[in-house]
Amino acid sequence: MQADHSYLDAYRDTRVLVTGGAGAIGSNLCRSLTELGANVIVLDDLSSSSLREVCHPPNCAFIQGSILDHAVLNKAFSLRPRIVFHLAALFANQNSIDHPDRDLLVNGLGTLKVLQAAQVIQVDRFVYASTSCSVYGAATPMPIKEDFVSLELTTPYQITKLLGELYCNFFKNFYQLKISKVRFFNSYGPGEIPGRYRNVIPNFIYRALHRQPLTITGSGEETRDWTYVGDIVDGLLRVGVMEDAVGEVFNLASGKETRVIDLATWVNEITENPAGIIHVGRRNWDIHHRRWASIEKAKRMLNYEPMTDLYSGLLKTVRWFKENWTPILSSVRF
């Protein structure tokens, strides 16, 4: 049976605001939205992204600035978006440990300010991008379901992303704002550059293409649920317009766990990197030995079905790296 994608028609001629729209997930989302005929507003301060990742069609407008800046938010919301995808954040656990004040401002106060602006104009849908590490503690039963929440968190990033979820609950319950929340599991794919606070896959690929050994922090037996960015975007598009998503929270993941050692081996294989693998001690905040998401709720309510397995996604991501090698090199900060 052919999949029903009629819900995507709802985006045509609809004004959509994407905060963090120049980032790895945001840029891919904005690209899909413009292809669907939406009128996209990208709001990003480019602190961890590049202008080259911003969509440039006639139906895409870019506003550079921070979600903490009242004037910038007024400019974005004066365009009267009907759907808001709030992806802007100070990203990464280690970044939040190094800069906890900035983390609280951006992920806490910034999210509050975006919610307030959305409430004033009563948007049709507000989608908040949370993360799997923000609410699921180390003792979470596997596979991880949406109804299990832990307060035993180990980084400021986890704390402030959970804070964002709690603010969303308040605006949903008090103001009846139509809010949906999504929790990403280890997103990867084209559009994400390597760097000090970046995810493991772009850093692995970067080092492999430089013929350097891949560094695993731990034994390599640790597992994660890596999710291709195209599948993340598919889930976001569903949550953005489907009525069943209002007031709900969904895991957006692959629904499969893979050992870190297998990931590293595949990256070396695909890139023909002879340098191998080295092991170092785990970071003291990284206490999650396993990550494996249940996506049954998203399947049942949204017909969400990940289409890209990890090996195929790695092939696509390595290809993107090679095609964009020069600009990637100019953007890398370790």
- Which residue ranges form the domains of the chain, and what is each CATH number? 11-187+227-252 (3.40.50.720), 192-224+256-292+308-328 (3.90.25.10)
Phi first, then psi: give them for residue 103, nearest 5 degrees. -60, -45
Phi first, then psi: give them for residue 206, nearest 5 degrees. -60, -45
Calculate what percentage of the chain has a pLDDT beyond 70: 97
**Could you tell me the pLDDT band of residue 282, with boundaries at 50, 70 and 90?**
confident
Return all residues near 77 (Cβ < 8 A) that are at least 6 apart. Answer: 17, 117, 118, 120, 121
Mean pLDDT of the chain: 94
Residue 292 has pLDDT above 90, yes or no: yes
- Closest Cα partner for 260 from 220, 203, 302? 220
- Closest Cα partner for 239 from 229, 226, 228, 249? 249
Residue 1 has pLDDT above 60, yes or no: no
Maximum separation of any 2 CA atoms in the chain, in Å: 58
Residue 189 has a CB neighbour count (10 Å cut-off) of 24
How many CA atoms, within 13 angstroms, populate the side-chain half-sphere of residue 162?
Answer: 19
Query: Which pLDDT score, from 0 to 100, does residue 3 have?
Result: 66
Query: Which pLDDT score, from 0 to 100, does residue 285 have?
Result: 67
Segment 21-39 shows an average pLDDT of 96
Look up the pTM and report it: 0.95
- Closest Cα partner for 266 from 331, 188, 191? 188
Query: Which pLDDT score, from 0 to 100, does residue 241 have?
Result: 98
